[in-house]
A and B are shown apart, each in its own frame.
Chain A
Amino acid sequence: ELKVEQNPLFLSMQEGKNYTIYCNYSTTSDRLYWYRQDPGKSLESLFVLLSNGAVKQEGRLMASLDTKARLSTLHITAAVHDLSATYFCAVEWNRDDKIIFGKGTRLHILP
């Protein structure tokens, strides 16, 4: 059974600080996704990581994938209040299969 675990589940941090969210999954995967969700809103796709060693960056967010360790990280650099949201990682297990989400990391950035 494919399991996806994120940690931490809650994170409160000061503006300007750096932090990392971790996503572990239990079996080999074709793709790993990172999504952002604002309260009461739908999911916004941030990154799709396809291969071992993949690294993608957008603004203050950088995602990486280590398929051997079954680990992805979402790194936040010099956090700003606008990044406050819930971040989900999701893993696709084999092509054409369902996508399993983690429980999400609720990020609160204090001004």
Chain B
Amino acid sequence: DAGVTQSPTHLIKTRGQQVTLRCSPKSGHDTVSWYQQALGQGPQFIFQYYEEEERQRGNFPDRFSGHQFPNYSSELNVNALLLGDSALYLCASSLAQITQYFGPGTRLTVL
């Protein structure tokens, strides 16, 4: 049983560019949450998707947007990248809000 998968593993972008990160949830899970983890910090909640709708959102600007597909996979889009967007982006999946399982993350570097 594959766990949560994310792609790409690493990504380098320049300021002002746009990026799309992808997440496939654990089999049987219907809820996907995205987190940003800056170096040396705890993960910060970005948003959560359930039934293809954004259900909850953290304190992130509108430059951060997402999508959930009918197969429950999800994308995180970040527009107009800033240096401060450099971080590890984690996707977590769950079923009916039971324990979240985290993916390996995507390391985004903005130059």
Contact = CB atoms under 8 A, between A and B. Distances in A.
A43 B45 CA distance: 14
Most B CB contacts (10 A, CB to CB) among A42, A48, A95, A97 go to A42
B102 A43 contact: yes
Interface string A85-106: 0001010100111111111100
Given A33-B99, A42-B105, A102 B42 contact: yes
Contacts of B55: 96
Contacts, number: 49
Contacts of B105: 42
Interface in B26-64: 33, 35, 41-45, 48, 55-58
Contacts of A26: none
Contacts of B57: 98
Nearest to B103: A42
B104 A95 contact: no
Given A42-B90, A43-B90, A103 B41 contact: yes
A41 interface: yes
A45 interface: yes
A104 B42 contact: yes
Most B CB contacts (10 A, CB to CB) among A41, A97, A98, A103 go to A98
B65 interface: no
A88 B42 CA distance: 7
The 3 nearest A-B residue pairs measured at CB: A101-B42, A98-B45, A43-B102
Interface of A: 33, 35, 41-45, 48, 88, 90, 92, 95-104
Interface of B: 33, 35, 41-45, 48, 55-58, 90, 92, 97, 99-105
